[in-house]
Chains A and B, each alone.
Chain A
Amino acid sequence: MIRYVVKRLLIMIPILLGISFIVLILIDLAPGDVARTVAGVEAEDWEVEQVREQLHLNDPLIVRYGRFIWNAVHGTFGTSFINKKDVMHDMMSRFPYTVLLATLSVTIAVFIGIPIGVYSSTNQYTWKDNLAIFLALFCVSMPPFWFALLLVQLFAVKLGWVPSAGVASWKSWFLPTFSLAVAYAASIARQMRSNMLEVIRQDYIVTSRAKGLHEGTVLFRHALKNALIPVIQTVGGLYSMALGGALIAETIFSMPGLGSYSLTALTNRDYPAIQGSVLFLSTVSCTMILLIDIVFAFVDPRIRSQYARTRKKAGKGAAKRGKAEA
């Protein structure tokens, strides 16, 4: 297992380097003269040139890349054009909110989605199943930002149960989390249902019934465990989506997280902040996916044995003998 973890960690490095490269050349992608855009339309030519030097835009790409990586590793992304504060400092103080939002949303989605998916699959062909499928599709088709606004209207404005913005109290987290979690839960429910339906048709399920096991044991011990495994990978993807969704959710709910910071930076062409936050969020995303993949490899014995470092000594010899026979 350790080998697997190390291998995946090593792979993450070129991925992050690749992302850094993309982030770096974002500046170059922008149409028009970046330096002028930053300096301002009315700036003098020498001012524009000064900005160009500041942004090191005259250096060759390799040098810029190297400098960027060097700085990134040291936690320096420059100063924000908008609020003149150190980008890294701002990001560090904000990212916990985003991570918490994403984690909460996905966790709630898992706890809602899995039972619904299982329930739906065991009631196939009934109205309960059809209703669940339809509801799930319905939830997935709702624009999350619109859903958030509706939730605010209902629960914050009309009913007054929770605040509509900010992070003042723990109640403030309900709406933002829920607005994201519903679509993810629907996604998980659909996948869980389809996994269960597939697993239940497998031969080993018939075998377990033929052994005289109680139907509950068959379902929950044998079928469910097998059906859950692919869902783990989906959760990784959903976490990445949640980090993206946080951009919008944090803006709507005025949360001081990394998402709203990125969005502000993007709408205002604040390049240091853009570079910093895209790289930061991508790093969080990659790390989370790595963690989830490790859990996945741990849980599925077929993958686990590929990376097992040690085997019981007697077992190893016997395994060799066993394989040599029929």
Chain B
Amino acid sequence: MVKQRHNSQSGLPEIWRRLKKDKAAVISMFVLLAIILVAVLAPLIAPYGYEVQDKKHPMEGSSRAHLLGTDRLGRDILSRLLYGARYSLAMGFIATAISAVLGIILGSVAGYYGGRIDNLIMRFLDIYQGIPMILLTVTLAAVLGPSLRNAIIALGVGFVPGTARLMRASILTVREKEYIEAAKSVNARDAYNIIKHIIPNAIAPVIVSITMGIGNCIMAGAQLSFVGLGVQAPIPEWGAMISDARNYMRGNPTLALYPGICIMLTVLAFNLLGDGLRDAMDPRLKN
């Protein structure tokens, strides 16, 4: 069999080139950019404020004044959806950032130093993951007190073990490789080693995981708001909107439909992008 020449230069330009070929990933990137724009520009583009109540027209379907209708307090659904993007994205990005940083540090230390430190961290992660994740985040959010900030903390804490283990596994794989031996043999200091050589090579699967993690955080955050443990009224986080709409599903099913679609599109976009990133970073897996 012809051995294909090693063309997997996985430098950034090469990865970007491969990513561009994945149509789903490209569409997702545009969608995400659009959502981020919407979130940032919400005060400018939303026809109403998110708590403005039109008391004369509650629970109405779409009309000229309210393109997607109103909720039970007469608030404009479209505006609330647009503002909602801010909170969902904020939860997703910040919580993922927290868990990513903590997870990468934990995983790197465990993977690089090995031995007793590794054992200790792994036992700690075992305890951590002994509690089902949803239960952990809900419990933390409840105990700390329901608010956006606490929800973000709870989510950030909850997602740490997954990232940590992935980082550790990735580092263990990279550590075996010979070029680390080479660097060590030239007496490079530990921190230098980790930062310059190991992390860049080990980080690829973690980046994929983080991308999809943002989507998962958004979904978990919506779930928290749905049960009342996340943002508080009248903040129009998408999950909270679904919770609001729940009692009126019989008469007005679209009320719950729109926010759910928003969540789904956002999460789907992150997942497609993550998949595309994975294929772009390691094309061997695809072919």
Q: Give, as a whole number of angstroms, the nearest-CB distance from A16 to chain B.
A: 7
Q: Is residue B117 contacting chain A, with contact meaning CB distance below 8 A?
A: no
Interface residues of B in 239-262 (CB under 8 A from A): 239, 242, 246, 249-250, 253, 256-257, 259-260
Q: Judge whether A146 and B256 touch: CB under 8 Å.
A: yes
Q: Across the interface, name the chain B residue whose C-beta is closest to A157.
A: B250
Q: Judge whether B271 and A143 touch: CB under 8 Å.
A: no
Q: Judge whether B142 and A266 touch: CB under 8 Å.
A: yes
Interface residues of B in 217-268 (CB under 8 A from A): 219, 222-223, 226-229, 239, 242, 246, 249-250, 253, 256-257, 259-260, 263-264, 267-268
For the complex, give the distance between the alpha carbons of A251 and B138 in Å: 13
**A26, A29, A266, A267 — most chain B CB neighbours (10 Å):** A266
Q: Given B132, B144, B242, B272, which contacts A145 in the complex, CB threshold below 8 Å?
A: B242
Main secondary structure of the interface of B (DSSP, over half): helix
Interface residues of B in 128-178 (CB under 8 A from A): 129-135, 138-140, 142-145
A67-85 CB mask vs B (1 if < 8 Å, else 0) is 0000000000000000000
Chain B residues near A137: list those with CB within 8 A: 268, 271-272, 275
Known: A29-B144, A138-B268. A153 touches B253 (CB 8 A): yes
Q: Given B24, B138, B268, which contacts A141 in the complex, CB threshold below 8 Å?
A: B268
For the complex, give the distance between the alpha carbons of A133 and B250 in Å: 33
For the complex, give the distance between the alpha carbons of A254 and B51 in Å: 31
Q: Judge whether B145 and A248 touch: CB under 8 Å.
A: no
Q: Given B129, B223, B268, B271, which contacts A248 in the complex, CB threshold below 8 Å?
A: B223
Q: Give, as a whole number of angstroms, the nearest-CB distance from B104 to chain A.
A: 21
A116-145 CB mask vs B (1 if < 8 Å, else 0) is 000000000000000001100110111111
For the complex, give the distance between the alpha carbons of A104 and B271 in Å: 26
Interface residues of A in 227-253 (CB under 8 A from B): 240-241, 243-245, 247-248, 251
Chain B residues near A247: list those with CB within 8 A: 134-135, 138, 227
A253-273 CB mask vs B (1 if < 8 Å, else 0) is 000000000110011010000
Q: Is residue A317 contacting chain B, with contact meaning CB distance below 8 A?
A: no
Q: Is residue A100 contacting chain B, with contact meaning CB distance below 8 A?
A: no
For the complex, give the distance between the alpha carbons of A271 and B129 in Å: 21
Q: Across the interface, name the chain B residue whose C-beta is closest to A197.
A: B285
Q: Judge whether A15 and B130 touch: CB under 8 Å.
A: yes
For the complex, give the distance between the alpha carbons of A274 and B135 in Å: 10
For the complex, give the distance between the alpha carbons of A138 and B271 in Å: 9
Q: Is residue B44 contacting chain A, with contact meaning CB distance below 8 A?
A: no
Q: Given A144, A149, A282, which contacts B130 in the complex, CB threshold below 8 Å?
A: A282
Q: Judge whether B131 and A267 touch: CB under 8 Å.
A: no
Chain B residues near A140: list those with CB within 8 A: 271
Q: Given B129, B139, B271, which contacts A26 in the complex, CB threshold below 8 Å?
A: B139
Q: Is residue B191 contacting chain A, with contact meaning CB distance below 8 A?
A: no
For the complex, give the distance between the alpha carbons of A240 and B271 in Å: 22
Q: Judge whether A19 and B127 touch: CB under 8 Å.
A: yes
Q: Given A30, A141, A146, A197, which contacts B271 in the complex, CB threshold below 8 Å?
A: A141
Q: Is residue A18 contacting chain B, with contact meaning CB distance below 8 A?
A: yes
For the complex, give the distance between the alpha carbons of A26 and B272 in Å: 37
Q: Give, as a whole number of angstroms, the nearest-CB distance from B63 to chain A.
A: 23
Q: Give, as a whole number of angstroms, the nearest-CB distance from A265 to chain B.
A: 9
Q: Judge whether B139 and A274 touch: CB under 8 Å.
A: yes
Q: Judge whether B133 and A240 touch: CB under 8 Å.
A: yes
Q: Give, as a whole number of angstroms, the nearest-CB distance from B235 to chain A.
A: 18
**A22, A134, A274 — most chain B CB neighbours (10 Å):** A22
Q: Judge whether A248 and B134 touch: CB under 8 Å.
A: yes
Q: Judge whether B127 and A248 touch: CB under 8 Å.
A: no
For the complex, give the distance between the alpha carbons of A16 and B144 in Å: 23
Q: Is residue B126 contacting chain A, with contact meaning CB distance below 8 A?
A: yes
Q: Judge whether A240 and B132 touch: CB under 8 Å.
A: yes
For the complex, give the distance between the alpha carbons of A22 and B157 in Å: 13
Q: Give, as a whole number of angstroms, the nearest-CB distance from B179 to chain A.
A: 25
Chain A residues near B144: list those with CB within 8 A: 29-31
Q: Judge whether B131 and A149 touch: CB under 8 Å.
A: no
Chain B residues near A14: list those with CB within 8 A: 123, 127
**B140, B219, B229 — most chain A CB neighbours (10 Å):** B219
Known: A15-B126, A18-B127, A26-B139. A244 touches B134 (CB 8 A): yes
Known: A140-B271, A157-B250, A241-B132. A146 touches B228 (CB 8 A): no
Q: Give, as a whole number of angstroms, the nearest-CB distance from B122 to chain A.
A: 11
**A143, A198, A245 — most chain B CB neighbours (10 Å):** A143
Q: Given A15, A16, A281, which contacts B135 in the complex, CB threshold below 8 Å?
A: A281
Q: Give, as a whole number of angstroms, the nearest-CB distance from B207 to chain A.
A: 18
Q: Is residue A286 contacting chain B, with contact meaning CB distance below 8 A?
A: yes
Q: Is residue A179 contacting chain B, with contact meaning CB distance below 8 A?
A: no
Q: Judge whether B131 and A282 touch: CB under 8 Å.
A: yes
For the complex, give the distance between the alpha carbons of A204 and B5 in Å: 23
Chain B residues near A141: list those with CB within 8 A: 215, 219, 264, 267-268, 271
Q: Judge whether B138 and A143 touch: CB under 8 Å.
A: no
Known: A26-B139, A149-B256. A285 touches B131 (CB 8 A): yes
Q: Judge whether B130 and A285 touch: CB under 8 Å.
A: yes
Q: Is residue A292 contacting chain B, with contact meaning CB distance below 8 A?
A: no
Q: Across the interface, name the chain A residue whose C-beta is closest to B243.
A: A145
Q: Judge whether B135 and A244 touch: CB under 8 Å.
A: yes
Q: Is residue A51 contacting chain B, with contact meaning CB distance below 8 A?
A: no
- Supply 23 A–B pairs (Cβ within 8 Å), ascending by A: A15-B123, A18-B127, A27-B143, A29-B140, A29-B144, A30-B144, A31-B144, A141-B215, A143-B223, A145-B222, A146-B256, A198-B285, A241-B133, A244-B132, A244-B133, A244-B135, A248-B223, A248-B227, A266-B142, A266-B143, A278-B139, A282-B130, A282-B131
